[in-house]
Structure 1
Amino acid sequence: MNKPVGHGVNKAIDSIQERLTSYACDLNYDGLSPEAIRAAKVRVIDVLGALIGGFFGEPCRVTRNLAAQMPDPDGATVIGTRMKTTLDMAAFVNATTARYSEMIDSYHWPGSSHGHAGETVTPVLAAAEHAQVGGREFITSVVLTYEVFCRVSDVFHNPGFDSTNFGCLSTAVAAGKLLGLSPNKLSHCISMAVVPNIILKQVRKDRLSMFKAVASGQAGRAGVFAAMLARAGMEGPHLPFEGKAGWCEHVARKRFSLNTLGGNGTAFKILDTQIKIRPSEGNAISCILAAEKVAPLKNIKEVKQVTVEVPKYAKEAVGTGENPWNPHSKEDADYSAPYVVAVTLMDGTVTPRSYNDAHLSNPELRALMQKIEVVENEEFTKAYERLPQEHRTRVTVVTRSGERLVGKAGGDQDDMAVPKSDAQIEGKFRGLAEDVLGAKRVNTILDRLWHLEELGNVAEIPSAFVLD
């Protein structure tokens, strides 16, 4: 794959590039399991609901204003509007908007680098709309992008680089397939996604900014743009993964293989991502659920101490350092166990409105956060690291009078690791969308998306989400 033409042809083959190319070209709807097809529809519903939930966020507004300067009637739709922009800009705006609400699914497979494969759904939808394909082709590409994202996450262990890099690659593979690229052009597409687009983990370190969501948009845009370049005839660098200065050497820092991919009896990875039922970083959700068991408290000022027991990874992700106790932004707050527990104890739960300025600047909330400690529970760590995975948390509130209130979460139907029912998926979507779309339109949208495989042209999907 990706061989230069002319004298002295280098016959070296990049096995990872070749594997991804052949897998993408061979995958078709008939090769998908019924479980994978349903999972794809669930995640499309879930991500589009998250997009509506994040539509009015500041970074989403900024990206829409930018897209308005680049109209393209032959491109793709900025979902939520009637605006059509260039294909790559539509991918950028829609992925940013879907990611902003912190409601898309998470991948927490033990030993993986985790990540949010759902951030690729709207860029893939943009490519599908642009290519005027049907629901079956779109479903196939959603399963494909999840497969690539999660399998790469499983073998990638360099903490200096962000998981959105997997999104760039997987979007490129799926978008290239949707644009009808030949195997040779798809190979170049993969190279042009991998070599020039590296996102550092700094987007999720120290004080967080609105770029946390934009990183997903940037990854989606780069992946789609690589497919556009390949379609136009551009060739990518040779040996993008396995070359002397390739991705394996400098980013992954090791050689790896992708021999195991879904299909032919192997389960698809889309089945392993976990649906969120609260708006926060995935490891903080069980903290919210546990706190809900004792919330809302009648008198916050009577709280003496709150102990939040979590798995090791949750402590590292949302309960370590200064930021969780002193968030400066919505992005800091939804990555903070002390913040979401404090909000839950005061309000009863966490909603997208829990991250508004009124909450962030609430002195009573800030005072309560300082009484919260986050500690590792080794038994919870073991439950997190085994399969089937469990997200366990225990919240213990001690009042000045000595009363102890204990809330526990994990291992039940609300556990993130437990597949969600159709009713739960619909309930989440309605909660995010009905206020702006209305119940009647939401009913129509849900019916269409549950029967996505019957859709003749997925271009019908974006038009259903216009916010008047």
Structure 2
Amino acid sequence: MDATIQKLARYIVDTAFDTIAPEAIHEARRRIIDSLGCAAAASAEPFCLSIKKLAARTHSTPSARIWGTGQETSIEMAAFANGTMLRYQDFSDTVLSRSNGHPSDMLGGLIAVAEAFHSDGKSLLAAVVVAYEIYCSLCASVQMAARGIDQGTAAAAGTAAGIASLLDYSEQQTANALCLVLAANLHLYNVRCGTLSDWKGCGGPNGARNGVFAAMLAREGVTGPTAPVEGKGGLWEILGRFEWDPGGGAVPLICQTHLKLHPVCYHGQSAVDAALILRNTVAASDVQRIEIETYEAAYLAMGQDPGRWAPDNRETADHSMPYTVAHAWITGSLSSTAYETDQLQSRAVLEMMKRISVSAVPELTAAFPANSSTRISVLNMAGSVYTHLQPNPKGNAGNPVSDTELEAKFSDLYRSWGAADSARQLLDFVWTIDKNTDVSTLVDALCIESTR
């Protein structure tokens, strides 16, 4: 095995629940809560229903269940269907570094395997921390998008690593899981360019699905190529030489990931915050012009492409800074209903978007990723200019949501699955999941429709 694979495998097998910092374990619980709420909110979306229908056609032993319906499917398809639900509304977590992504995409796969193999809660929490560490340390090591590689690659690698931890693989099995997953999972960044498609929300969950498959192959003794990072034709040849170094920080990297309070691409969080503040001073009817200044990554993701001024589907709209700012300014909020067809065609929103410009400025770009700041200046009809600089949005690791605020988000998102009392019961379950001896009982609580 090449030295990088050996280093990754050694980190994974050496990391267990009792060796992980308590704050990282707590963040793992918080990521599970956040992700389950996101999945509940998207469960009845037509696209998610079609994915669940597809997943229900597949049967295997062992099996895992589709959240909401309780239908059995393969572990891999449960990873994909459940991961797609929690990702669909773009309300799940984010990592910002040399590469960006949504590490919670992996949780559908990790929970599916934990259910199928009746793992305990401590093992699941440790696996989540390990998976995030592999995912986020890859993102910290190299600019994948600049070389055409998407975040789904990190999801595949992180999921395979998390499963190796969850099922207590040997170092050799773990190394093979990593080799197998890296050799077969270079996802293309094109999925996030131009007019965005359904696959924008599926790429990460598909990476998790493939991570499950690679880990299952390694469990059966299948070997992978021995040098997928450093060897000929490996990642170094594609991405350039980089040092992939998990476990090197003062605390695990899960503690540096960010939660969202708006269902929009993370790069738009601070812009929406700023819009909601400025609308209290300048009403939508009094707006003459809005100038949005942000950092380069936000501009490239949400303000460079002309299509961001004419979004015709949810996937493009929730990655459009002019659309989300205009909608928030006019309505006073940004919820998932903002992406329904009638809202995308709102004359008032479309007219305001024509008066919005977006640019990247050096000072905000230099501060990223430590700070995800946006400055909005609005010119009113009388010629007065009002400006607000929004530093890290609420939910950023430097401006975190409290447990109480996270519970409020979860309870609001959970409504499609049940009443406040059942939401409270599930919250209490996850907060104490380290005391649980079989994660399948967590999934029992998620199979809402099967108990009605």
Q: TM-score range by the shorter chain?
A: over 0.9
- Structure 2: distance between partners of 1:304 and 1:195: 53
One-letter amino acid of the counterpart of residue 240, structure 2: R
Q: Tell me if 1:379 matches 2:363.
A: yes
Deviations 1:128-161 (A, max 9, x none): 1111111100000000000000111111223210
Residue 86 of structure 2 aligns to a residue whose secondary structure is helix
What are structure 1's unaligned runs of at least 5 residues?
A: 1-12
- Cα deviation code 1:361-405 (max 9, x no counterpart): 1122111111101123443334335xxx33222323323333544
CA gap of 1:416–1:27, structure 2 versus 1, over 3 A, is closer
Taking the aligned partners of 1:59 and 1:17, their CA distance within structure 2 comes to 37
The more displaced of 418-427 and 375-384 is 375-384
In the TM superposition, 1:398-409 aligns within 5 A as: 398-409=379-390
Q: 1:293 to 1:223 in 2, by over 3 A?
A: same
Which amino acid letter does the alignment assign opposite residue 330 of structure 1? Answer: R
Matches of 2:108 and 2:340, distance apart in 1 = 25
1:131 to 113, 117, 124: 117
Question: Per-residue deviation at 1:41?
Answer: 0.7
Root mean square deviation, CA, Å: 2.0
Task: Provide closer, same or farther for how the CA distance between residues 447 and 369 of structure 1 changes in structure 2, counting only shifts above 3 A.
Answer: same
Are 1:269 and 2:241 an aligned pair? no
Distance 2:12 2:367 in 1: 35
- Which of the residues 139, 145, 166 maps onto 2:154? 166
Closer, same or farther: CA 441–448 of 1 in aligned 2, 3 Å: same
1:84-163 paired onto structure 2 within 5 Å: 84-109=72-97, 112-158=98-144, 159=146, 160-163=148-151
From 272, 276, 279, the equivalent of 1:295 is 279
Compared CA separation, residues 403 and 193, structure 1 to 2 (3 A): same
Q: 8 Å contact 2:273–2:393 — kept in the other structure? A: no
With normalisation by structure 2, the TM-score equals 0.94
Q: 1:325 corresponds to which residue?
A: 309
Please say if 1:258 is aligned against 2:258. Answer: no
AA matched with 1:398: L
Q: Which of 281, 304, 308 is equivalent to 2:288?
A: 304
* Structure 1 residue 213, shift from structure 2 partner: 0.9
User: 1:217 and 1:413, CA in 2 relative to 1: closer, same or farther beyond 3 A?
Assistant: closer
Aligned residue identity for 1:338:
P
| Percent of aligned positions that are identical | 29
Shift of 1:171: 0.4
Counterparts of 2:27 and 2:184, CA distance in 1: 32
Letter in 2 for 1:307: E
Choose from 449, 453, 460 the match for 2:441.
Answer: 460
For the 8 Å contact 1:296–1:344, the answer to whether it is kept is no
Contact 1:67 1:93 in 2 (8 A): yes
Choose from 429, 433, 438 the match for 2:419: 438
Q: If the length of structure 1 is used for normalisation, what is the TM-score?
A: 0.91
Structure 1 letter corresponding to 2:320: S
For residues 381-396 of structure 1, the aligned pairs below 5 Å read: 381-385=365-369, 389-396=370-377
Counting only pairs closer than 5 Å after superposition, residues 51-70 of structure 1 correspond to structure 2 as: 51-70=39-58
For 2:317, give the aligned amino acid: A
* Residues in 2 aligned to 1:116 and 1:92: alpha-carbon distance in whole angstroms: 14
Q: Secondary structure at the match of 1:395?
A: strand
> Is residue 291–residue 358 contact of structure 2 (8 Å, CA) maintained in 1?
yes
Shift of residue 299 of structure 1?
Answer: 6.2
Change in 2 beyond 3 A, CA 1:26/1:299? closer
CA drift at 1:297 = 8.6
Once the two structures are superposed, what CA deviation does each residue of 1:323-366 show, in whole Å capped at 9, x if it has no partner? 21111211101111101100011110111111111111112211
Query: Is 2:160–2:181's contact at 8 Å kept on the other side of the alignment?
Result: yes
- Structure 1 residues 168 and 431: CA distance shift in structure 2, 3 A: same
- Which runs of 5 or more residues in structure 2 are unaligned? none
User: Judging changes above 3 Å, is the alpha-carbon distance between structure 1 residues 350 and 75 closer, same or farther for their aligned structure 2 residues?
Assistant: same
1:260 to partner: Cα distance: 4.9
Deviation of 1:245 after TM superposition, in Å, equals 1.4
How much has 1:288 moved relative to structure 2?
Answer: 0.5
Q: Does residue 1:181 correspond to 2:165, yes or no?
A: no
Within the candidate set 46, 51, 64, 2:34 is matched to 46
Deviations 1:227-264 (A, max 9, x none): 111222322223222221122223x232x3334515xx
Q: Letter of the aligned partner of 2:94 in structure 1?
A: S
Amino acid at match of 2:231: G
Query: What letter is aligned with 2:448?
Result: L
Q: Is the 8 A contact 2:68 2:417 kept in 1?
A: no
* TM-aligned CA distance change 1:414 to 1:71, over 3 Å: closer
Q: 1:153 to 1:411 in 2, by over 3 A?
A: closer
1:448 correspondence with 2:439: no
Distance in 2 separating the partners of 1:59 and 1:107: 25
Distance (whole Å) between structure 1 residues aligned to residue 177 and residue 327 of structure 2: 45
Query: Structure 2 CA distance, aligned partners of 1:337 and 1:314?
Result: 9
Deviation, structure 1 residue 116:
1.3
State the AA in 2 paired with 1:167. A
Counterpart position of 1:10:
none
Q: Distance in 2 between matches of 1:173 and 1:301?
A: 52
Kept in 1: contact 2:259–2:396 (CA 8 A): no
1:286 aligns with 2:270: yes
Q: Report how many aligned residue pairs link the two structures.
A: 447
Q: What is the aligned counterpart of 2:217 among 222, 229, 238?
A: 229
8 Å contact kept, 1:391–1:416: no
Residues 240, 208 of structure 1: CA spacing in aligned structure 2 closer, same or farther, 3 A cutoff?
A: same
More moved, 435-444 vs 229-238: 229-238
Which stretch shows the higher mean deviation, 172-181 or 295-304? 295-304
Q: Deviations over 1:101-142 (max 9, x none)?
A: 111111113xx2121111112211111111111110000000
Q: What is the letter of the counterpart of residue 206 of structure 1?
A: G
CA distance in 1, matches of 2:409, 2:60: 33
The answer (yes or no) to whether the contact 1:333–1:355 under 8 Å persists in 2 is yes
Supply the distance in 1 between the matched residues of 2:395 and 2:93 (Cα, whole angstroms): 14
